[in-house]
Amino acid sequence: MSGELAPGETLVESEIGAQLGVSKTPVREALRLLAGSGLVTMSTYKGASVRVIDAEVAYAVYDLRAMLEPEAVRRAVENGADFSEARHVLGEVASGTGAADRAHASQTNRLFHRALYAECGNPLMVEILDGLRDQAALITVTGWGISPTWKGEAAEHLAILNAAEQGNAKQAEHLLRKHITDFIDRVAFELPGERAGDDKGVR
């Protein structure tokens, strides 16, 4: 998430184990878990490597987010959800200027978004959105490296949260969907692969 390991960089179990002071066995298991969350790519011939985010992957993840997350937040608002946790983390969202700060901003961004949809009333919807969070976070950090817009996004977060706290479910849904699609439209054309002008169905 910090960019210390570059996209496509090979992850050698023995080297990582030496750096962390552990054997290769827990490293191998950790790499499998990271592969399952979409952060690491496993190859029979090349082994493990850092996931390369291209436009196709980014559009696929954000397409699903744009369909599910705004709906989940609409339901949470209509259910009278408590958004105090979202308000608590809002002050830390999208702060910082360096690569390490992007990683921190990404973590607080994850916490904020989850706090919005957690009480949607559908555990399966929450589980699916939780399953997207690692890949979405990697796309976010990659996108911020292209277009450092986290401070502007903090204002968008505030508007979404205000609408949710005021019980305006439709407005919160609309603002969140726009927040998600605007981000991918800003950064995807800079990623390798398909360009943002291609019809990927995010909207």
Span 81-115, pLDDT tens digits: 999 999 998 866 544 444 457 777 788 888 999 99
Higher pLDDT, 59 or 195: 59
In 3D space, the residue among 56, 74, 76, 196 whose CA is nearest the CA of residue 135 turns out to be: 56
What phi, psi does 47 have (nearest 5°)?
80, -150
CATH annotation of 10-50: 1.10.10.10
Ranges of each domain in the chain: 10-50, 55-190
Q: How far apart are CA 88 and CA 9, in angstroms?
A: 36
Rg (CA), the chain: 18
Beta-bridge partner residues of 110: none
Give the pLDDT mean for 13-18. 93
Cα-Cα-Cα-Cα torsion 73, 134, 107, 25, nearest 10 degrees, comes to 150
Pick the CATH number of 55-190 from 1.10.1740.10, 3.10.105.10, 1.20.120.530, 1.10.287.310: 1.20.120.530
Instruction: Please tell me whether the overall predicted TM-score, pTM, comes out greater than 0.85 for this model.
Output: no
Residue 75: which residues within 8 A CB-CB, separation 6 or more?
120, 121, 122, 169
